[in-house]
């Protein structure tokens, strides 16, 4: 473990001089800075919060921290689910949410230049007003784009359009030394040495701080509709998924959800959208599918073909949400799953394991059985089109220590099975501090050592987000 120094009043004064009016200490630091949206991974308050306003300010603050060996934790909106933005060693937390300007559009190269603190929802809405689409669509719309890039967030539209990584053309980065550099370019392909750009994407703030981004955009589809497709059982539901690609339907989104999570969400939003019983048959699983097209005729043909496919595969019915209001209601229920679980659950943990699409059904059966064996309530949903599953462990009656012990046992079982299936620990939420030991078991010691070597090259003093992704801090995580 690296040696760190204490934050002295002299160092804090240097920080204040480097960023006048943007340094918070003591009672000015909000308790929210001590955790992300999954507090089960612990809470730790930073000693100093720096509200970043420019790349140059970030550079100077990081330089001071590096020279004095003070740990630094980058943070966006704090919507992470793996403890990635928790300042495990206190130190300085750098909040980028004030760097929230959409700087410019380049319509000849179809890119947008933004500061890293811009919210996903703000860019999506701004693009929509211009007839454009920023395709990545993670469920948390109030996350910062810098955080999305730092975890390579995927989201609902990844099945057709790809994950965040596929939309990052270039970025401005403050390295742990305080030096400012630029990775990538406004081009669509490159074979120009190691891809430092792609090393930063998904690095969760351990290699540097992203301050600006150049992102690929596209023209928005002309027409869009969603299908709510109930099934009597999960096996039939998941088995229908590969048929969408085999029949060249290429859906924009292809989500699955089990009955219990739908009921929780509808209680939370106060509106029933998903049918519970159709012609006397109870729905126990659902697909939520979005299809886009260039015109109404093409869209109708795709809807008709999709309906035929799923009905043959065992669907009870197909409900078409083809107006903005109907689509909003359907996706509002889907987007509220996490909040709904949180409202109804005292103790909560989750994983976003990813497995090959053809293994989803058998893997979920394995997961549900493991949950029973470990004495945990399991609620699952996820991106059926790309195999990224969101599996929540819930309890309202266990003590926290017992809950954590059962979850650890559960994770060990299901991550080992995911590895055997050809899957990986995380599809989009990242490793943070909470999943490091499971990553070791999944990818092996050799690959972990390679990652630690990359970390050492970028960050010799290990000041940047210590204890995350590729190593732990003794006695802390």
H or E element in which residue 78 lies: none
Q: Are 38 and 81 in contact (CB under 8 A)?
A: yes
Interatomic CA distance for residues 72 and 138, integer angstroms? 26
Give percent of the chain with pLDDT exceeding 70.
100
Interatomic CA distance for residues 388 and 152, integer angstroms? 13
**What fold, for 9-97+452-458?**
3.30.43
Q: What is the pLDDT of residues 136-148, one digit of tens each?
A: 999 899 999 999 9
* Residue 104: pLDDT over 70: yes
Q: What share of the chain is helix, strand, coil (3-state, %, to 5)?
A: 40, 25, 40
CATH architecture, domain 345-438: 2-Layer Sandwich (3.30)
Q: Are 292 and 159 in contact (CB under 8 A)?
A: no
Residue 38 CB neighbour total at 10 angstroms: 22
Q: Are 228 and 283 in contact (CB under 8 A)?
A: no
Residue 348: strand, helix, or coil:
strand
Reported confidence tier of residue 322, pLDDT bands at 50, 70, 90: confident
- Read out DSSP for 169-235? EEEEEE-TTS-EEEEE-SSS---SSS-HHHHHTT-TTSS-EEEEEEEE-EEPPSEEEEEEEEESSHH
Interatomic CA distance for residues 467 and 473, integer angstroms? 5
Residue 425: strand, helix, or coil:
coil
- 113 DSSP β-pair partners: 104, 214
Q: What is the pLDDT of residues 7-32, one digit of tens each?
A: 999 999 999 999 999 999 999 999 99
Domain boundaries, the chain: 9-97+452-458, 102-219, 223-340, 345-438
Alpha-helix residue ranges (DSSP H) falling in 321-428: 324-335, 337-344, 360-373, 400-420
Q: Which residue in 160, 158, 25, 53 sits closest to 116, CA to CA? A: 53
- 224 DSSP β-pair partners: 292
Average pLDDT over residues 384-402: 95
Interatomic CA distance for residues 131 and 72, integer angstroms? 39
Interatomic CA distance for residues 230 and 278, integer angstroms? 9
Q: Which residue in 351, 352, 403, 399 sits closest to 375, CA to CA? A: 403
CATH architecture, domain 102-219: 2-Layer Sandwich (3.30)
Q: Which residue in 335, 316, 208 sits closest to 268, CA to CA? A: 335
Interatomic CA distance for residues 201 and 170, integer angstroms? 11
- 253 DSSP β-pair partners: 290
H or E element in which residue 398 lies: none
Average pLDDT over residues 73-77: 98
| Backbone dihedral angles phi then psi of residue 111, each to the nearest 5 degrees | -135, 160
Cα atoms in the 13 Å half-sphere on the side-chain side of 105? 14
| Backbone dihedral angles phi then psi of residue 419, each to the nearest 5 degrees | -60, -45
Q: Are 316 and 230 in contact (CB under 8 A)?
A: yes
Q: Which pTM does this prediction carry?
A: 0.95
Q: What is the pLDDT of residues 244-288, one digit of tens each?
A: 999 999 999 999 999 989 999 989 988 888 999 999 999 999 999
Question: Exposure string (b/e) for 63-94, b if CB count within 10 Å is 16 or more?
Answer: bbbbebebbbbbbbbbbbbbbbbbbbbbbbbb
Question: How high is the pLDDT of residue 476?
Answer: 83
* Residue 1: pLDDT over 70: no
- 379 DSSP β-pair partners: 392
Q: What is the pLDDT of residues 153-184, one digit of tens each?
A: 999 999 999 999 999 999 999 999 999 999 99
Q: Do the domains spanning 223-340 and 345-438 agree at the CATH topology level?
A: yes
Q: Are 48 and 90 in contact (CB under 8 A)?
A: no
Q: What is the pLDDT of residues 334-389, one digit of tens each?
A: 888 989 999 999 999 999 999 999 899 899 999 999 999 999 999 999 999 999 99
Reported confidence tier of residue 325, pLDDT bands at 50, 70, 90: confident
* Residue 78: pLDDT over 70: yes
CATH architecture, domain 223-340: 2-Layer Sandwich (3.30)
Residue 176 CB neighbour total at 10 angstroms: 23
* Residue 123: pLDDT over 80: yes
Length of the chain: 477
Angle at 356 between CA 263 and CA 300, to 5 degrees: 60
């Amino acid at each position: 473990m690296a040696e760190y120094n204490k934050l002295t009043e002299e160092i804090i004064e240097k920080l204040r001089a480097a960023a006048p009016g943007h340094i918070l200490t003591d009672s000015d630091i909000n308790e929210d800075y001590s955790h992300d949206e999954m507090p089960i991974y612990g809470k730790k308050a930073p000693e100093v919060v720096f509200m970043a306003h420019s790349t140059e300010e970030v550079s100077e603050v990081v330089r001071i921290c590096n020279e004095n060996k003070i740990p630094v934790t980058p943070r966006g909106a704090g919507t992470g689910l793996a403890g990635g933005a928790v300042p495990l060693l206190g130190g300085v937390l750098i909040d980028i949410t004030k760097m929230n300007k959409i700087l410019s559009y380049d319509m000849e190269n179809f890119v947008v230049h933004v500061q890293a603190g811009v919210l996903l929802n703000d860019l999506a809405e701004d693009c929509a007003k211009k007839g454009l689409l920023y395709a990545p669509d993670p469920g948390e719309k109030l996350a910062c784009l810098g955080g999305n890039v730092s975890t390579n967030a995927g989201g609902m539209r990844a099945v057709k359009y790809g994950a965040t990584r596929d939309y990052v053309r270039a970025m401005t980065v403050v390295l742990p030394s305080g030096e400012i550099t630029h990775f990538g370019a406004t081009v669509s392909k490159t074979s120009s040495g190691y891809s430092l750009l792609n090393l930063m994407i998904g690095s969760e703030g351990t290699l540097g701080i992203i301050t600006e981004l150049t992102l690929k955009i596209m023209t928005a589809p002309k027409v869009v509709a969603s299908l709510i497709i109930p099934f009597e059982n999960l096996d039939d539901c998941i088995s229908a998924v590969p048929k969408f690609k085999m029949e060249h339907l290429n859906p924009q989104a292809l989500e699955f959800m089990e009955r219990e999570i739908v009921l929780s969400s509808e209680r939370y939003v106060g509106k029933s959208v998903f049918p519970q019983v159709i012609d006397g048959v109870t729905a126990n699983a659902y697909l939520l599918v979005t299809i886009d097209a260039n015109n109404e005729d093409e869209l109708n043909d795709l809807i008709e073909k999709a309906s035929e496919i799923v009905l043959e595969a065992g669907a009870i019915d197909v409900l078409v949400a083809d107006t903005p209001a109907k689509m909003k209601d359907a996706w509002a229920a889907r987007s509220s799953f996490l909040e709904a679980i949180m409202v109804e659950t005292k103790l909560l943990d989750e994983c976003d394991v990813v497995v090959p699409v053809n293994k989803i059904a058998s893997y979920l059966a394995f997961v549900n059985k493991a949950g029973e064996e470990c004495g945990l309530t399991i609620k699952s949903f996820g991106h059926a089109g790309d195999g990224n599953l969101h599996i929540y462990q819930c309890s309202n009656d266990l003590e926290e220590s017992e809950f954590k012990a059962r979850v650890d046992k559960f994770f060990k079982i299901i991550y080992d099975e995911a590895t055997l299936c050809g899957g990986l620990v995380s599809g989009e939420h990242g490793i943070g501090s909470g999943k490091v030991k499971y990553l070791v078991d999944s990818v092996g010691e050799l690959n972990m050592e390679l990652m630690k070597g990359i970390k050492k090259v970028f960050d010799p003093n290990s000041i940047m987000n210590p204890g995350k992704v590729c190593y732990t801090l003794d006695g802390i995580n």
